[in-house]
Amino acid sequence: MRKLGIIVFMTFVLFFQIGSNGVIWTVNQANAASLGADPVEGYDAVFVLDTSYSMRDTDPEGIAAEVINMFMDLSDADRTRVGFVAYNHHVVASKSLTSIAVAAQKSQIQQEIRTLNRSGYTDLGLGLRKGSELLAAGTSKGRQPFMILLSDGETDFGASSGSRSKGDSSNDVSSVIKSAQTKGYPVYTIGLNHDGTVNRQELERIASQTGGASFITSSAEDLPEILNRIFASQIRSKLVPVAAITTTGEMQELTVDIPDSSMEEANLVLLSEHPLQETQLYSNSENVRRYKSSRYAILKIEHPQAGKVKLKLRGIRGDLVKINLLGSYRLEAEASMTGNKETPTNGNKPVQLPKGQAIPFKAQLLLPDGQRLTDEAVYKSLQANIMVTPVKGGTSKKVPMTYKSGFFQAEYAFPLTADYTWQLSLDSPQWYRKGAVHTVHAVNAAPQALKDLTIRLVKEDGDARRSLSEFFADPNHDKLTYKLDSGASGDAANAEINGTDLLLSGLHTGDSELKITATDSEGASSSATLTVSVQSRYTAIKWTVAVSIVVAALLYWFLRPKPQFAGRIEGYFLATASGQEIPVKSWPLTSFPGRKVSLQELFRTLDVHEPLPEAERIIFSAGKKGTLVVKHDTRCALQHGKVRIARNKKAVLEYSDKLYITFEDGVTEIELRYKAIKPNTSVYTDHIQAPTG
């Protein structure tokens, strides 16, 4: 039996492989899905050990105790607490949850388990109840509790049961299941079936109803693999084979690749038939711990850097040594739907979204402090998928994600109106993570009529066909069916629907209205009235010609040549309020750019400084054929010949016309004469009067 126990450790396999013949297990997938929903601060494990007399035959080598020791050696000591209950028809011994970070406490647990005596009968409910009490009393929020039951049979009180009955034990089992469901921790059951009496149905019920896994084995030699499956499911890491060598009795050397710099701990697990005589590890880490037993050696490296480490070992000549790497990562997965709607990261709040529309997803890894992991080597080693599952049954859909710009990204359109769950799944050669389970409700929206619902046709072109997708759209991208409702008005065309097309025939000049209903694949519909407008080609030509004439006229109006200033103004001040005599002024209007000029501007150019602000609102503009148009918005008196110019009215001055202005002060008067510029006159364009011949 000792040799068989050693062989078990030699055949230690990957966490997720199914390797041992004769081992049967049942896994509840719901628990696996829930892992990673919240950051894990630590682990609380309670072992419930059957120490009845029959265990002497089932596990004579005490392998159950040895694999518990290995479990503790592999665990992240600073984050792991271990407790145990040993039971037969009584509670033989128990240990509350105890941190294994303190070496003395860890050694005490190992010693107590190693010295357990095997005697008496079996009260399964009593052992589970005590284990549940230890978990309830010791665990806290943020920690991940679980319980592991090892038993070789069902409840058996023998000839003397005392005050307990099988009914009492069964009630305790049911109570523990209910407590585990309420508090959210799994119970893993391991049935040791050495004589065929194990109650497989009961053990599977306990595991499945609490989110754990059930294992049935006929040999204790399968226990190391089973315990490591449970260990893997809790820390979400994988045991990676590194090498298998046959020892020569001398020092042998090999290298081990550390894939990235984000491991919390790297565990090198060496399994051999006989104890290794010497192990040496050359690493850039300052903290390397060693654990040894008669069946294994573990080298634990804290916070290793990516690269190669050198391992040297010496064992008994001819021994087969298997070296495996187990990395512990303190990383959590976070995913969200982005765009107009974003799901909460805890996954508790259902989200409504339109079916059939591509929804973008984004995912990343978070460190314990909530900051985003930036180690590119970790991201590039991962396969990321969004797992979408209909709530009311159906096949799950795996949506691959691609890594880009520091995030995993994907798009998915929920195909039907229904409730769905979606969950991020990350997998690498060293570890895996599953994000929170999110619930969404995909809803259907009715088709929508577009804005332009008019069909314009030419009678002479004959029958016409129009795709109804030009007039209706479905927000969910469903295929639409169409129906032509009765009661169309007008006789411009005969209409019928062929598939997704509207056929129009028998065209006549005029308008018709067609009521059409569009229906999607789930029965939602909307109606719209289409207007069919039919014109004759000749009518269209007439309208085209008429429009062209109007456009041409407008273009001519806006682009026609504009009149420019052509003459000059002479100014004679008849009186001033200041009493100052002002000589005759002459303004050549051609020296002013543009087509308008105010009297005030004329005054400024020839240094007329009388305080006449109203002159700014007396405007001269170029008229046709050399005329000058005057307009004012003042209380001044403007006299053109014998006609007084009213406020905001225009007057046209021709050459030799005179304009008399009495300003608002009632004193200042000026006579303006509009004259032509003589052909031999030189005029400068700098607003200075030019000399005349």
First-to-last alpha carbon distance for the chain, in angstroms, is: 139
Q: Which residue has the higher pLDDT, 294 or 610?
A: 610
pLDDT tens-place string over residues 66-109: 778 888 988 888 889 999 999 999 999 999 999 999 989 999 99
Under a CB-based contact definition with an 8 Å cutoff, are residues 604 and 620 in contact? Answer: no
pLDDT tens-place string over residues 311-321: 999 999 999 99
The SS3 assignment for 279 reads strand
The torsion of the CA quartet 640, 644, 648, 651, rounded to 10 degrees, works out to -30
Q: Which residue has the higher pLDDT, 542 or 277?
A: 277
Residue 317 confidence (pLDDT): 95
- Mean pLDDT in residue range 619-633: 93
Give the CA distances from residue 554 to residues 300, 324, 544, 545, 562, in Å, rounded to whole numbers and listed in that order.
90, 89, 15, 14, 15
Q: Name the nearest CA neighbour of 620 among 643, 603, 607, 642.
A: 603
Residue 21 confidence (pLDDT): 39
Least confident span in 8-12, 142-146, 367-371, 451-455: 8-12
Give the Cα separation of 263 and 240 in Å (integer). Answer: 14
DSSP type of residue 431:
B
Give kind and range of the element (H or E) at residue 404. Answer: strand 402-404
Give the Cα separation of 546 and 541 in Å (integer). Answer: 9
The string of DSSP codes covering 293-356 is: -SSEEEEEEESPPSEEEEEEEE-STT-EEEEEEEEE---EEEEEE-SS----TT--S-EEEETT
Alpha helices in 374-490 (DSSP H): 376-380
Read off the tokens for 451: 């804005």
Give the Cα separation of 306 and 255 in Å (integer). Answer: 13
Residue 349 confidence (pLDDT): 57
Banded model confidence at residue 15, pLDDT cuts 50, 70, 90:
very low
Q: Name the nearest CA neighbour of 117 among 169, 71, 65.
A: 65
Give the Cα separation of 149 and 506 in Å (integer). Answer: 85
Q: Name the nearest CA neighbour of 124 among 79, 182, 187, 80.
A: 187
pTM of the full structure: 0.64
Does 534 have pLDDT greater than 80?
yes
**Domain spans of the chain, in order of start:** 2-236, 240-328, 332-443, 448-538, 567-676
Does 417 have pLDDT greater than 60?
yes
Residue 217 confidence (pLDDT): 80
pLDDT tens-place string over residues 399-413: 999 999 889 999 999
Burial class, 426, CB count within 10 angstroms (exposed 0-12 / middle 13-18 / buried 19+)? buried
Banded model confidence at residue 132, pLDDT cuts 50, 70, 90:
very high
Rounded to 10 deg, the angle between the 2-10 and 63-74 helix axes is 30
- Mean pLDDT in residue range 201-213: 93
Q: What is the CATH number of domain 240-328?
A: 2.60.120.380
- Mean pLDDT in residue range 193-204: 81
Banded model confidence at residue 30, pLDDT cuts 50, 70, 90:
very low
Amino acid at 456: R
Read off the tokens for 382: 């991962």
CA angle in degrees (0–180, nearest 5) for 475-481-484: 115
Q: Cβ neighbours of residue 529 under 8 Å, at least 6 residues apart?
A: 453, 513, 514, 515, 516
Give the CA distances from residue 106 to residues 68, 98, 231, 287, in Å, rounded to whole numbers and listed in that order.
11, 8, 17, 19
pLDDT tens-place string over residues 475-485: 988 999 999 98
Burial class, 601, CB count within 10 angstroms (exposed 0-12 / middle 13-18 / buried 19+)? middle
Residue 94 confidence (pLDDT): 95
Banded model confidence at residue 155, pLDDT cuts 50, 70, 90:
confident
Does 665 have pLDDT greater than 70?
yes
Q: How confident is the prediction for the chain on average, in pLDDT?
A: 85
- Mean pLDDT in residue range 47-64: 83
Give the Cα separation of 69 and 49 in Å (integer). Answer: 14
- Mean pLDDT in residue range 517-521: 92
Q: Specify the CATH architecture of the domain 332-443.
A: Sandwich (2.60)
pLDDT tens-place string over residues 676-689: 987 665 544 444 34
Q: Do domains 240-328 and 567-676 have the same CATH topology?
A: no
Fold classification of 448-538 (topology level): Immunoglobulin-like (2.60.40)
Read off the tokens for 23: 């081992």
Q: Name the nearest CA neighbour of 218 among 242, 246, 259, 190.
A: 190
Rounded to 10 deg, the angle between the 223-235 and 63-74 helix axes is 30
Backbone torsions φ then ψ of 635, nearest 5 degrees: -100, 15
Banded model confidence at residue 222, pLDDT cuts 50, 70, 90:
low
Burial readout 463-478 (b: 16 or more C-beta within 10 A, e: otherwise)? ebebebeebbebbbeb
Residue 11 confidence (pLDDT): 32
Read off the tokens for 155: 């409840």
Fold classification of 2-236 (topology level): Rossmann fold (3.40.50)
Q: Cβ neighbours of residue 3 under 8 Å, at least 6 residues apart?
A: none
Residue 161 confidence (pLDDT): 61
- Mean pLDDT in residue range 366-382: 92
Percent of all residues in the chain with a pLDDT value above 70, rounded to a whole number: 88
- Mean pLDDT in residue range 4-8: 35
Residue 508 confidence (pLDDT): 85
Residue 562 confidence (pLDDT): 81
Residue 238 confidence (pLDDT): 83
Q: What is the CATH number of domain 567-676?
A: 2.60.200.20
Q: Name the nearest CA neighbour of 431 among 331, 551, 560, 581.
A: 331
The string of DSSP codes covering 344-400 is: -TT--S-EEEETTS-EEEEEEEE-TTSPBP--HHHHHT-EEEEEEEETTS---EEEE
Residue 239 confidence (pLDDT): 79
pLDDT tens-place string over residues 350-363: 688 899 999 999 99
Residue 346 confidence (pLDDT): 44
- Mean pLDDT in residue range 656-681: 89
